[in-house]
Amino acid sequence: TQLLEQSPQFLSIQEGENLTVYCNSSSVFSSLQWYRQEPGEGPVLLVTVVTGGEVKKLKRLTFQFGDARKDSSLHITAAQPGDTGLYLCAGGGTYKYIFGTGTRLKVLA
């Protein structure tokens, strides 16, 4: 069974701070995605990474796929209250993705 463990599970920080969220597995994935979910809504896709070692930037968010394609990280620079939400990684193959356990982030103004 493929499992994706995310850490930390919960994170509460002040506006302006930096943070990193981790997504780890013992399985190799052909691609990995990150989603953000706000209360009462479904997850929204942020990025897809497909190549080992790949780094993608989306404004203040930096995503990295591990060289062995088993792990990934999400780094947020100068967090803002609008970044608050549940961050989910998802490892995938041809048809389906398995979602991680999630990191619940709260950014305080």
Closest distance of CB 89 from other proteins, Å: 11
Residue (45 or 58) nearer to other proteins, CB: 45
d(Cα 67, Cα 54) in Å, to the nearest integer? 8
CA 67/CA 62 separation, integer angstroms? 16
Nearer to other proteins, 88 or 107 (CB): 88
The span from the CA of 14 to the CA of 67, in Å, is 31
Give residues in contact with other proteins (CB under 8 A): 33, 35, 40-45, 48, 88, 90, 95-102
Nearer to other proteins, 33 or 64 (CB): 33
Alpha carbon of residue 107 to chain centroid:
16
- Min CB(95)–other proteins separation in Å: 6
